[in-house]
Structure formats: C-alpha cells, structure tokens
Amino acid sequence: MAGILAGIKLKSAGIENFTIYEKASQIGGTWRENTYPGLTCDVPSHHYTYSFERNPRWTRHLPPGPEVQAYFVGVFEKYELTAHTCFNEEAISAHYHGGLWHLTFASGKTDEATVLIMASGVLHHPKLPDIPGLDSFEGALFHTARWDHTVDLSTSRVGVVGNGSTGVQIVSALAGKVPALFHFQRTAQWIMPVENGHFSEAEQLSFEDPETLRAAMNMPEYLASVEAYTQALIDESSEGAKSLGDACRANLEQSVLDPVLKKKLTPSHQPLCKRLIFSPDYYQAIQHPSAHLVTESIERIEATGIRTADGVLHELDVIALATGFDARAFMRPMTITGRGGTNLDTLWHDYPKAYYAISMPDMPNLFMLNGPNGPVGNFSLIDISEHQWNYIWQLMEPVLSGEISEVCCTRDALEAYEEKRSEAAKQTVWFKGGCQSWYLDSRGIPASWPWTYGDFTAAMARPDWTQFETVATG
C-alpha cells in the first residue's frame, strides 16, 4: 500500500527514475499475505482507499480482504507502476556511502539510489507461539498469514489459537461451517459492535457520482469519530473513552446471556488497552452449538490435538495460529548501515525508533512510511501514509532538485522527540489499561503515536528544519 503510494506520488511529481522492489511475485502486502476465512478490514470501506482514488464498488460497509487486494492491484495497474517494479527481489542490505544507498538483493542483484524509501510494512513477520509440541501435530497446522487453502475445512475439527482481530474474524466466519470449532483464548478481549451490511448494486452505481460518494462518506463526522477515538486512547476520562467502553460492555451484556460464558468473555483490562476489536457477530458465533471457547491455558500440542492445563485433550484436524506478528521487525532482517558505520541494529538496540516515525540520524535520505511508533490504530493506515508522504516529500524534494545532498534528523532531535513521546505514551490506555499487547516495546512503553489524530496531521503538515541536519551540495 505504502510503496504504491510512493510510486504514484513520484510519478505525479514528474519523477520517473525510481524502482519499487517487491519481494513477492505480486503486490498487496498484508492483503496479499492474509487470505484467511472472514478476512475483513475494520475501517469503513469508503475510507479505506487513497484519498485521490476512491472506490465506489465496495460490496460491504467493511471491506472484505479480497476486495482490498483487488483495489490495490487495480490502482497499481491504473498508475502503470508495473514498469517501475521489480518483483521477486528481497532486499537484504542497504549501505550508505559516497552519497548513495547501495542495495543488495537475495538474488544477487544490486542497485544504487539517492533516496531510499522504506515501505515494508509493520505487521509482517508471523509470530509463532512458544507452545511445546508444535511440530508433533499430525493434522494441518499453520499461521493465519500462511493459510493452507488445500485443507477441506468442511470436514475438519478446527482449533483457532488467539483472539485478536484475526482470531475473532476467523471464528466468526467458521462457526456453523465446520463440524467443531475450538477457540483458545488466553486473555479475554473487548468487542465493539459494528454493522457490516451490503451495498446494493443501485447504491454502488450511485457512488460512481463523486458527490454522492462524498456525501455518503460523511467526512466531518468520520474525522470527528477518528479524533474522538484517538482522544479516548490518550485520555481515559474523555467522553470518547466512556462511550466506547460503554458500547463494549453493553455489547457483551446484551449478546451473551449464559453467566459462565459471559464471565469467561469478560476482560479484566480497560477497553482500548489492547487494539479494539470490531465485530458484528463474534458473540453469536462463539455461542453456536458447534463452537467452544477454551480458556484453560494451553499446555502442549500433541499428535491429535491441543492439551490444556486441566488435562483435557481437544482433538483437532486443523490448528490455525492467530498469534500475531513480530511488531518490532519493520525492515529487518535487512542490514542497514548509514553514515559513519551507524547501523540499524545499534540504533534500535533497545527498541525501534525514528523521528516522527520517518527519519533516523546518520541515515541520510532514508525515509520510512509507517515506521516505528507512528499512529497504528483502528483507523486508515492509507490516510496515515498520505500525511507521512506529504512530510517526506518536503524533505526529499531539495535533495532531488540538487539544492542539498543529504538530509536526516539530528541525534538530539530524535532523543528529545523520543523522550517526549515515551512520556506521553505512559499516559495512554495502552500503558495504563492493565494489559499486555503488541503495542508495548521492550521497555513496556507503548510504541505508538500518543497524541490525537489532529496532532498527527498538524505535525505532518511541514517539517521543522531545525531538527534536521543537511549537507550542502558539494
């Protein structure tokens, strides 16, 4: 998504001398790699597009994964980016010297670039759980981002480990469609109710008119809801925090009547502490007669199923590991070495960091889209990337025009920014809400944007050049 955005923006600025490197044989990132049953984006469809390339043809209020993938493929083709893209090229290193980034790929290919844009995603490397016996299972076992479509689920007893957004979507899709479904929950999650109706053919046709689509998107109300949401994350006493929390509690209260099941599904942490899950039907799904919520902790995986701490063996044909991703990898395992031998692993020895999620000291002309500690939340990362591009472009334009030869943030700028950001992050519900989540860095401090959406868009409007060091063209 972010690499395509960079390509489109460069072309629209009249720059044709660029290459997009993609390690797979197709574009799509998250939406290419995730193909699990029920895959849905939880951002409203019409808002989950580039601002300059709206899509009137979404079939549902929340975009189904395959439609998102088709959208990106369509945009990629429309903007004729194929000629700029090298597929099946996995970058393994980037070293800066002589005013250029020198890139090496797993294939042995090399390239050089004045400006390097990292658009390699956030949640990318699947995280396998440290459950003993993973290799001993004789059925089909896979991470949810590596779904095995050769397995016939209709005759399978399926176990899903994990109840983040992924696990919840899969259980909602499979309940009643497989002979037996076991959902292994380590920590209960708050679930926000959401509508996910269909757009009729007539509605989709009417959205071909940009004015009708704009009206349907209700931009002021949507932006107000995003602002209220981010306010809720940083201020537990805010109106938004109260109304979101109340909606989650009422959803559980009204949807689950069995007191034993309700107790199992009741989290001990505050709503929003973990990434909020939006689901129209999880509580209905888990109450289906063939669905079973398992809250006993997993002891081990055996040849025929999952054994829990109470000694029960849950016999299974398929185990889907919805256990998330390594949120601290970013472009790693690439080796990245900047000016004076500064390398990424040293710079990130304690945790990943970048000035405004975009620039790093001694990494001249290297910019990140969706870099560390940026605003990853329940709103559109496409929108976030567009704002980040606006900021990046202002930094790189003087390099491309030859006005300066290098730009990156200063060490002091990053240090001061990180201190301020970390302090603010300690005031958020991710920190104070009493839970563990992938938002927390190795210090236990939320690795995210701890201010509002409005603060983010304001920050991205223009760089503060006093925080950057530049080298004049020699």
Given the rule CB under 6 A, which residues bind ligand NAP?
40-42, 123, 129-131, 161-167, 169, 186-187, 275, 298, 322-325, 436, 438
In whole angstroms, how close is the CB of 377 to ligand NAP at the nearest point?
8
CB of 165 to ligand NAP, least distance (A): 3
Q: Which is nearer to ligand NAP, 282 or 438 (CB)?
A: 438
Q: Which residues of 346-385 are buried (b: 16+ CB within 10 A; e: fewer)?
A: ebbeebbbbbbbbbbbbbbbbbbbbbbbbbbbbbbbbbbb
CA distances 57 to 187, 208, 269, 381, Å, are: 37, 8, 39, 20
Q: Which residue has the tokens 């070293």?
A: 95
For residue 295, the minimal CB distance to ligand NAP (Å) is: 11
Backbone torsions φ then ψ of 28, nearest 5 degrees? 130, -20
Residue positions counted in the chain: 474
Report the largest interatomic distance among the alpha carbons of the chain, rounded to a whole angstrom: 74
CB nearer to ligand NAP: give 164 or 364: 164
Nearer to ligand NAP by Cβ, of 324 and 433: the residue is: 324
Place of tokens 């998102």: 68
3-state helix, strand, coil in the chain (%, to 5): 35, 20, 45
> Least distance (Å) from ligand NAP to the CB of residue 268?
11
Question: What's the CA gap between 422 and 429, in Å, rounded?
Answer: 13
Q: Which is nearer to ligand NAP, 187 or 206 (CB)?
A: 187
Query: Which is closer to ligand NAP, CB of 187 or CB of 284?
Result: 187
Q: Please state the closest distance from residue 437 (CB atom) to ligand NAP, in A.
A: 7
* Minimum distance, C-beta of residue 334 to ligand NAP, in the bound complex (Å): 22
C-alpha separations of 165 from 20, 90, 145 in Å: 30, 28, 13
Residue 365 CB, nearest approach to ligand NAP (Å): 30
Q: Are 124 and 329 in contact (CB under 8 A)?
A: yes
Which lies closer to ligand NAP via its Cβ, residue 123 or residue 360?
A: 123
**Considering beta carbons, is residue 11 or 292 the nearer one to ligand NAP?**
292
Contact 6, 358 (CB under 8 A): no
- For ligand NAP, the closer CB: 322 or 366: 322
**Minimum distance from CB of 126 to ligand NAP (Å)?**
9
Beta strands in 366-426 (DSSP E): 366-368, 404-409
How open is the CA angle 2-403-79, to the nearest 5 degrees?
30
Please give, one letter per residue, the 3-state secondary structure of 255-310.
HCCCHHHHHHHCCCCCCCCCCCEECCCHHHHHCCCCEEEECCCEEEEECCEEEECC
Q: Of the two residues 22 and 33, which places its CB atom closer to ligand NAP in the complex?
A: 33
Q: How far is the CA of 191 from the CAs of 52, 144, 202, in angstroms?
A: 32, 20, 32
**Least spacing, CB of residue 273 vs ligand NAP, in Å:** 10
